[in-house]
Structure formats: structure tokens, C-alpha cells
Amino acid sequence: MTMDPRLQTWLDGELELTELPDELRARAADWTGLLDDVRTLPAPGAAPDAAARVMAAIRTDTVSDASALGRARDGLLWLVRPRPIRLSPLLAAAVLVLAALSGLRVVSGGGSPGTAADGRVYVQFLIAAPEARSVALAGDFNEWSPSIELSDPDRDGVWSARVALDAGVHEYMFVIDGTEWQPDPNSLSYAADGFGRRNSVVAVAPLDQT
Amino acid sequence: MSDWRWRAIPVCAALVFGAAATAPAQERARPPARLERGLSQETTARLREIIQRAEREGVPPELLQRKVNEGLSKGVRGPRLEQAIEAYARRLVAARRLAGDDVMSDVLVAAAEAAERGVPPDRIRAFLRANPNPHRSVVGLRVFGDLLDAGVPAGEAARGVNASLDRGLRGERLLALSAAVRRRIARGEEPSSALRAEIDGRR
């Protein structure tokens, strides 16, 4: 379909409507209605209130509440919002060194079985006490205070605790339900405690001699 | 971002790393002494006198203090506690005379324990001379006493412990030697042959 060149000239604004012949004026009127409809359509790709919403968001981000509560909220928002951080190479290297050092501490403290970060050795204490409500550990390593609590997370009656001890020989006992002092039935050695009972003995070899 | 936020980063980092660095020191901290807790004035005065007298003989007071704490935790009070501490102090003083002035507290305790279990003083002295490393002597004397308790003659027990130490047995592995010997004896084996069998089995 081809358009009459005079109508095209009118659409280009180079002719007045009155300059068109009568047979083209009716079609020019149709074009006028169509163009008016197009002008009323929203702009493609943007919601009608997009500009208003963007401006509201910008105001929320930049305008701070001067009250203490407002500052606290701003600080919290700052912590949780992801944002790009620019670091100088020197600072980035320092951060990496610190992270590496802290990582080494974690590995030597928890990931390597049996060794603590400060050269002590982790010892696992176990006792089967199905009827116990609580089990604690006391020994010469904690001035005989029953302050190390054993746990039984799967409730099978076997209580355990992992304790970092210096190398050497240590005496200890379990304390059941806060009152009943009991030696470790699985200990390899025992020693009279001087009070009419016997302590269990654990021998911890130095790290370089295990 | 405002300046205070940037300043907060190194402060937070310092707090985190500072806490990590001090954690082992906190783990190592021990509860305060409890000498006076739950004791009469007379008992407290008597215990202080025992501890001070032993200290003059070269016994570190913390060893006796720890034994007092042990008794208190186990509910021992009054004259019974005094007698137990007095006896322990005597053993430690004797061990100091036996072991010399230069041995560590752990060795002193091990020597006192071995003497209490019947290890002859000359054997203890010889064992300490042969094993100046406290990591060897402390657990070695313990096993020595265990073997003697089990009926192994002192000479064979000393040779067995020294041989095991020379072969690198330490810690619980060395304690396991005497436990295994006791099991053999309980099954009817003669103590000396039980020890020999266990040492041969660990070659």
C-alpha cells in the first residue's frame, strides 16, 4: 500500500490541511485521530510513577533521621546492604595476611585432632552414665572445681567433653549429678587421693612425642 | 559513606582479633584459691601452718593448696582434711629430699606418689638420674609404681619402664603398658613374665 505524496507532505508539516484536496482531507482526519491516540500512550519501558518512586528511594537513602534511633537504624542498614568497597593494594594485602593468620589459629585449635592452639593437647573424656542428669569433670587441671560440664547431646547415656590439657600426668574424677564423685572406669591408671578414694589418671604426651 | 563508619572498621577488626588472641590465656586461667572457703578458723590456721612449714622445706605451696581444694571439693573438712594435707606434705618433703632442689613440681609429685606406692628411694633416685626429662620421668614413675603394685619386682619394673621410654612410648601408650600387664596377671600369668611378654609385644 502506498501513501499519497501530498498526504505525506502534510504529515511532515509542510502543507496546511486546507491545502489538501477534499478527497485527502477525510484521510488526513483519520491520521490526526490516530496520532492523538498514540500521544496518550505511556512511554515504553517505564511505569507511569517510575520517576516519583526513584526520587522517593533516593530521598530514603540520603536523608538521615537525626535522632539516635534514626542513626542506629541507618547504621544497621549500612551494615546489611551490599555495596562495593574499594581497597588499596596495600590494605588488601594486610587484610589477607590477617585472614591467613586467623585461619591458622582456627585450624590448629579445632581442625587438627588432639592439638590445641597453645601447644596443649585436647583430651576426650567419656563416661557412660545413663541415669545421670548432669556429669562434670574435676581435676588438678581446674583446681578440682567441677566446672567442666560433659554433654550427652544424643541422649544415649554416654557423656563427653573435650578438654585442652598441658602435657604431663593429670588426676581427675567425674561428678555425677553434682554430688557423686566417681573415678573413670576406663582409666588406665589410678592414684589414691589421700581422702579415702582413688583418682583416675590421664597421661598427656607432649605434641612432639605423641 | 560517612567517616565514622570507616573508622569503625579497624576498631571492630582490632576487637575481633584481640579477642581471638587472648582466648587461650582465658582458657588457661584457673579459679582462685579456696583455702578459707567452708573451713573453721582453726582448720584454716592449721593448714596455713602445714603449707608454710612444707614451703620452708622446698615444697611449692600451690601443690598443697591444690590438695586442699581437692579435699574441699570432695566435701572433706576439719581434722580429716588437716590429717590428709599433713600426710601429703610429709610425702612431698621426703620427695624433695630424695629428688633434689632442681626438679619441677610435677616430678616432685610423681616421686612422692612412687614412694607412697612402694618404689624404693634408691630406685627413684636412679630413675630420675636416668630420665632427667620431666616428660619421661613423670609418667615413667607413675608406671613404675603401677607395675610394682601389680607385683612386678622393682628391678624388672625399672628396666621395663626405661626400655619402653627408650622405644618412644609416651603418655597413654606408656600407661597402657602397666594396664596390659595387670590384665595378664589377672588372667594368671606371673608378673615378671607378664611384663616381658608385653614389652616383647611392643617391639
Q: What is the CATH number of the domain that holds A187?
A: 2.60.40.10
A73/A62 Cα distance (integer angstroms):
13
Query: With a threshold of 0.95, does the pTM exceed it?
Result: no
**Domain extent at residue A179:** 121-209
Are residues A126 and A160 in contact, defined by beta-carbon separation less than 8 angstroms? yes
Residue B145 pLDDT more than 90?
A: yes
Residue A17 lies in a domain: yes
Q: How far is B38 from chain A (nearest CA, A)?
A: 14
Q: Residue B104 pLDDT > 60, yes or no?
A: yes
Does any domain span residue A55? no
Backbone angles phi, psi at B170, to 5 degrees: -140, 165
Domain contains A147:
yes
Distance in angstroms between the alpha carbons of the first and the last residue of chain B:
70
What's the total number of domains in chain A?
2
- Polymer length of chain A: 210
Q: Kindly state whether residue A53 falls inside one of the protein's structural domains.
A: no
Side chain identity, residue B93: V
C-alpha count within 13 angstroms, C-beta hemisphere, residue B129: 7
Confidence of residue B25 (pLDDT cuts 50, 70, 90): very low
Can you list the alpha helix ranges (DSSP code H) found in chain A?
A: 5-11, 22-40, 50-62, 68-80, 89-106
Q: Would you say the C-alpha torsion B116, B119, B120, B125 has a positive or negative sign? A: negative
pLDDT, tens digit (0-9, with 9 covering 90-100), for B110-141: 999 999 999 999 999 999 999 999 989 999 99
Residues of A in Cβ contact (< 8 Å) with B172: 188, 202-205
Nearest to A188 among B69, B76, B172 (CB): B172
**Is residue A155 assigned to a domain?**
yes
CA proximity to A172, closest of A162, A160, A184, A180 = A184
Chosen from B65, B139, B143, B181 to mutate, greatest number of chain A CBs within 10 A = B139
Q: Decide if the complex's ipTM is over 0.95.
A: no
Cα dihedral B49, B54, B58, B62 sign? negative
Query: How many Å lie between the alpha carbon of A127 and the closest alpha carbon of chain B?
Result: 17
Q: What is the pLDDT of residue B186?
A: 96
Mean pLDDT by 10 residues, chain A (210 residues): 72 76 79 69 52 49 54 64 60 60 33 61 96 97 96 96 95 97 96 96 82
User: And the C-alpha cell for A166?
Assistant: 598441658
**DSSP annotation string for A95-119:** HHHHHHHHHHHHIIIIISTTB-TTS
How far is Cα A136 from Cα A150, in angstroms, rounded to an integer? 5
**Alpha-carbon span A165 to A163, nearest angstrom:** 6
Is A102 inside any structural domain?
A: no
